[in-house]
Structure 1
Amino acid sequence: MFDWLIVGAGFAGSVLAERLASVRGEKVLVIDRRPHIGGNAYDHLDEAGLLIHRYGPHIFHTNSKQVFDHLSRFTGWRPYEHRVLAEVTKPGTDETVRVPMPINLDTINRLYDLSLDQDEVEGWLAARAEQVPTIRTSEDVVVSKVGRELYEKFFRGYTRKQWALDPSELDKSVTARVPTRTNTDDRYFTDTFQAMPADGYTKMFEKMLSHPNITIRTGVDYAEVRDSIPHKRVIWTGPVDEYFGFRYGKLPYRSLRFEHSILDQAEYQPVGTVNYPAEEVPYTRISEYKHLTGQVHPKTSITAEFPSAEGDPYYPIPRPENQALYKRYEALADAAQDVWFVGRLATYRYYNMDQIVGQALATFTKIDASLPPEAANDDAEALRRAAAGD
């Protein structure tokens, strides 16, 4: 008998498994239909011995000291600040240039052959910004900040490829995630803590889940074991509509196809990621992992990302009708007994990794406050004491 059956061995499931096992002394079974732990953050050595991310680049960043300190129990860190270039054409020419993304002062000066300072670029952008009475869509967000030309050059094509929808059809939250800067800060993120797990994400997950109260089974689907493995409660981190048998229909997602390549050269591009906003380019971006990991190797590995309507669910599509459908599933989830729904897929929201960790820690606090520990029996108590070093 397991106290908890946790479905999904990504951040949400693994953080909760460790807390339930080590703090409450409870017996936890973690399952995942994939053949590995770590969820989308899973990394591994490829055929050349280069550390790559199976599901595209995962860059850790957070402003939460609590989240960073918690993960620091299971990994050391390599300081890393992610930088992204966008490959676009100069206005009125066929000349291709790579400029910083998000848009900053250097982006404007290089693209237009200008020498504006910080004060001047604010006026330059303001003169091009369009007046939008009410910001509703992703197009509204961008054109109200930087105007139509930069919107067309950096955002429209990229967004149409990523979502198969025009930015005018998407909620404002999509492009609101990308800032516009008037200084020369070319970091993609500005969070207080920016670093990569020193030995990779998978090693961090292995340490997190290395506890005598935790059993891990990969390559296992919940439907195959839910009736055969005795358990008291469930933590579900998969798609919420799947848990309820798609009762109201499927929630829409966008997926990705990853094309991994090993190149016989030391470096492919000058930064971790290069974006390709042009619609005629089939992929959205190419990432090179050695920038992220700091690995020294005579070869390099890159990944091109191709958005897709089919495949694993990655990105909930933020449109009002989809949110309305999710609300129907949320009502079912709220009414479910002894089941907790945690993570991006279970709550149909796009979360960064640190936000999922924060959500999992908050969920544990609620569980711990509302349920008496299951470690009342002698065996569980003995395991708890052993894990605590008592």
Structure 2
Amino acid sequence: MSKKIYADNAATTRVYPEVLDAMKTYFDEEYWNPSSTYESAGKAAKKVAEARNVIANAINARDKEIFFTGGGSESDNWAIKGVADALREKGNHIITTKIEHHAVLHTCEFLEKHGFEVTYLPVDEDGLVDLEELESAIRPTTILISVMFANNEIGTIEPIAEIGKIAKEHGVTFHTDAVQAFGHEPIDVEAMNIDLLSASAHKLNGPKGVGLLYIRRGTKISNLIHGGGQENGRRAGTTNTAGIIGFAKATEIAVENMEKNNQYEARLRDKLIERILEEVPYVRLNGHRERRLANNANFCFRFIEGESLLIMLDLKGICASSGSACTSGSLDPSHVLLAIGLPHEIAHGSIRFSISTDTKEEDIDYIVDELKGIVERLRSMSPLYEDFVKEVG
């Protein structure tokens, strides 16, 4: 098999050559520890400071509000556990949603075992949070609201600015998991009243193993890792110089090309959606039709197991997924699809295609053309589909 089409960019992205070039020097020639005191180390520290400035500017933050981490899951954990610990005397109530990434949900479940109360807000059939319901869930003991910027499975973009406004009016700290949105959607932490924001480099053509947590100045949050004085004493550990520089370069490229990239991806995404909905029967598009990430298209194919569909797509050289890469291998249907109201038997037939600027128009046509035959073949082996056809026929 020679053809390979990668349509799983929500899981991870190709590192740009310019990003690799920017990083390379700091692996071999300029490999100094930025925390050391000699001149060469000082140069490395200066490069890290410049990278911090690039990333801060991308979201209208201050340099000192950007803290580098090992990735999005670490940032989510730090934000939620850190606020819970710092504000334990003020209250013990956290508000989040049923469709968050497991880095948020499992952290909240952990805190529930340690005396905290968590409200898991429902969402509508498109995956959107009801703002009135969110506001009515706030109690005198509420210390944190955590709502993701854009859903990693169905691509729905939440009303973040409106949520931030509500949180600010009630004096509640607001965190958003922006792992899927950072570098892909315009973000202004000031205008959106965001207090904490998580992001990860490998979702925008940067390296794996480096992320960030934006912490608004004045936000009460406990330190993550105790040890040395790195990250202003909040997150100890040797600075990942090359990774941070790569993150900044990827951010720079993403911000500069965001509008152009989104227009290109949205055009191909819409073609993919339209062709599948028109040419494949008994298919449901998941997520909001307009308020969605430019590169995301998530479907449920009735009478088919998503895993079988993925395997057969892979045999044709098409890489996709059935949901979050962090839960691959799970036999349970997506918690996101169940939260938007889909029954188990339909949620099991989900496929997520997430494209990029590397995707070509002919790739979209190839995906749909192969998908049609695979769906037909799998349904021909399904007793459920056979019974359904008899009923409607």
In the superposition, the TM-score normalised over structure 2's length comes to 0.26
Bigger relative contact order (CA 8 A; separation at least 6): 1
Give the helix-richer structure, 1 or 2. Answer: 2
In the superposition, the TM-score normalised over structure 1's length comes to 0.27
